[in-house]
Structure 1
């Protein structure tokens, strides 16, 4: 009986190995990924013009309200038109007199030509008649030029919008004398639709993009079809879509960057000139990229890594090279295979070399629950 009791006590003290910890694992998502060049820049108007007085006179009227959106040709200012209308009438009257003188000179020339043919007058008389006709024709041309100048000056008395846009506040008041010594600025007009987006690209990205363009056989005209996505500081994502419009022919040696410009439609005037904006431009596309949740990545002195469960359910630390975020997931450039099982939950409960009980789950569901 004593031996039986001792044997039972020994059995109760036997150590039992705890079960492996359960961890959530998932295989990387494999899908097509578009890579983007991201930059910051600012918006600028496609057209911006200072409206100036090109003739001298008193400002008679301001024909718009400050900040109005106007169409091309809308009258904005009127500068004392009566004086210039009288000058136009005077020039037209002089032109009519020159036309009458020319008709008389031509009639006299034809008459003298007939008389010379019949030898009724001398050749000198015909030469005098020819000279009078030519002078009358020159006087008419001068009068016609004076009329056109008077018409142009009369047109300058009405300052109109040169294109569709928004007019700034007026800088002069009604009754003020303008255009005395030099053209007087009356206001400014700015077009807002479409709008430019200016940004710069560093030299390394320029080399990479040009190499990709050569690989894909793109021509310079194809670059104008590359989309540009723009977002404001207060907006999520890049809701404004446009296209590349211009790239500088040379690199700025002082900054090592290339000046680039996009053209973005702006029908609702959400973008105003001078805004600071976020910009991204697609550069290339990978058809079978591998993606994992960003939270599954760890960092140590050697770089970024993932915890991978091998075929024996042992945890391995795998060094990886990461790429950009895409749809909430991180692109893995190298160090990972499509069939690998990565630890996506319980990272603090596992260490490399430990045996675990992997629980396979889809990445989208696990990433959404984080």
Structure 2
């Protein structure tokens, strides 16, 4: 008789099949395996990454000059339309269109012969009137002596007196006619009233001018010096007046403030001048005050009608704090900078900003001279978290730094 095979985990004992108790052995083996795995996990425990590195620098501290910035337009201080003030045919044009001429230079000549003859005629009449006055004066003196000797009647003296007075009046009229004739003769020579550039001529030689009304011949414009007209806001006007009051400067002396001008294609403000006029009232519709500067223009680099940049220095500050403009952020509450405190934790500091000065932004308030401002690595600087600050020199903060991209997490 063939016996059936014994199942696993069973044995035969005295002809009986007995099941082995293996559960405790399995539990012991599983526990040992788990202990080995836990030991391996302890060797690969999580290590937090180091704080991110950011570049920090203290604010730059130096003296600055505060400016009023504006935009304006140039305008000539003198521009005159040259006209024919006497009637006649245009005899000559004595300049080149667009040329620079000096004061007194002859520009146009209107036929002078007729007016020269009228002047000579008036001069001759004046000479005759002088002779008449001389004769009448001698006759009057003679009649006075005769009356005193009772040789002639008083009526004869009265007639001599009247004749003398009429001759004197005629002489005065002749002198006036001579002056008028001289003035009209001078009008035949149209000269430059000041140094300037003359426009193209508007009439031709041989054309009759000054017939019914003065005929415009050309226009002359003075370019040196030149005006710069611009407007200053009401807030800036108050700032300047308050600063002048603080420094004890009379309001009238504000006109002595310098003015700096630059063209759109120029770097900086190479043209220097001074204030020439400040309007007496603020425009209610625009809230601005009209101001004018006077700028020397010897090389005629500024032409009337140019659109220019204008700034007026009105205050100096000895110890201003400045940071790179890229280190300043903004949110709904305003402008801010990120600073690293003594525990190397990032803080967000609200600041009031001022103007740019040589590439740096002036900080009016909210920052101290010993603060460490984050200048690079701004994406890695999160308020409330710790960082590894890399200190830069204050001068290095002026150079724009390139924001480094965060390294990929491993």
Q: For the Cα contact (< 8 Å) 1:292–1:363, is it kept in 2? A: no
Greater mean deviation of Cα atoms: 11-20 or 182-191: 11-20
Pick from 316, 329, 354 the counterpart of residue 285 of structure 1.
316
Q: Summarize deviations over 1:228-279 as a string: whole Å, max 9, x none.
A: 1111111112111111110111112222221110111111111100111111
Compared CA separation, residues 3 and 207, structure 1 to 2 (3 A): closer
Give the structure 2 partner of residue 174 of structure 1: 205
Q: For the Cα contact (< 8 Å) 1:323–1:333, is it kept in 2? A: yes
Q: For the Cα contact (< 8 Å) 1:293–1:363, is it kept in 2? A: no
1:103 equivalenced with 2:134 (yes/no): yes
Greater mean deviation of Cα atoms: 49-58 or 15-24: 15-24
- Measured in 1, the distance between the counterparts of 2:131 and 2:312 equals 69
Q: Give the CA deviation at 1:11.
A: 5.1
> What secondary structure sits across from 1:192 in the alignment?
strand
After superposition, the CA RMSD in angstroms is 1.9
Q: Give the CA deviation at 1:211.
A: 2.1
For 1:122-133, what aligned pairs fall within 5 Å after superposition?
122-133=153-164
Q: Give the CA deviation at 1:49.
A: 0.5
> What secondary structure sits across from 2:253 in the alignment?
helix
- Measured in 1, the distance between the counterparts of 2:37 and 2:95 equals 109
Q: Give the CA deviation at 1:166.
A: 0.4
Give the structure 1 partner of residue 407 of structure 2: none
Give the structure 1 partner of residue 169 of structure 2: 138
Greater Rg by CA: 2
TM-score, reference length from structure 2: 0.86
Give the structure 1 partner of residue 68 of structure 2: 37
Pick from 144, 147, 158 the counterpart of residue 189 of structure 2.
158
- Measured in 2, the distance between the counterparts of 1:23 and 1:164 equals 63
Runs of 4+ in 1 over 4 A off after TM superposition: 2-8
> What secondary structure sits across from 1:191 in the alignment?
strand
Q: Give the CA deviation at 1:4.
A: 11
Give the structure 1 partner of residue 243 of structure 2: 212
- Measured in 1, the distance between the counterparts of 2:284 and 2:330 equals 36
Give the structure 2 partner of residue 185 of structure 1: 216
Greater mean deviation of Cα atoms: 209-218 or 91-100: 209-218
Q: For the Cα contact (< 8 Å) 2:282–2:289, is it kept in 1? A: yes
Q: For the Cα contact (< 8 Å) 2:98–2:198, is it kept in 1? A: yes
- Measured in 2, the distance between the counterparts of 1:311 and 1:322 equals 24
Structure 2: stretches of 5+ with no match in the other structure: 1-32, 402-410
Q: For the Cα contact (< 8 Å) 2:79–2:219, is it kept in 1? A: yes
> What secondary structure sits across from 2:177 in the alignment?
helix
Q: For the Cα contact (< 8 Å) 1:195–1:263, is it kept in 2? A: yes
- Measured in 2, the distance between the counterparts of 1:287 and 1:367 equals 18
Q: Give the CA deviation at 1:6.
A: 7.5
Q: Give the CA deviation at 1:59.
A: 0.5
Compared CA separation, residues 321 and 194, structure 1 to 2 (3 A): same
Give the structure 1 partner of residue 352 of structure 2: 321
Greater mean deviation of Cα atoms: 316-325 or 182-191: 316-325
Q: For the Cα contact (< 8 Å) 2:108–2:190, is it kept in 1? A: yes
Q: Summarize deviations over 1:168-207 as a string: whole Å, max 9, x none.
A: 0001111111111111111000000000000111222222
Query: What count of residue pairs does the alignment treat as equivalent?
Result: 370
Give the structure 1 partner of residue 364 of structure 2: 333
Q: Summarize deviations over 1:14-59 as a string: whole Å, max 9, x none.
A: 3334332222111001112222111111010000000111101001
Q: Summarize deviations over 1:147-180 as a string: whole Å, max 9, x none.
A: 0110011001000000110000001111111111
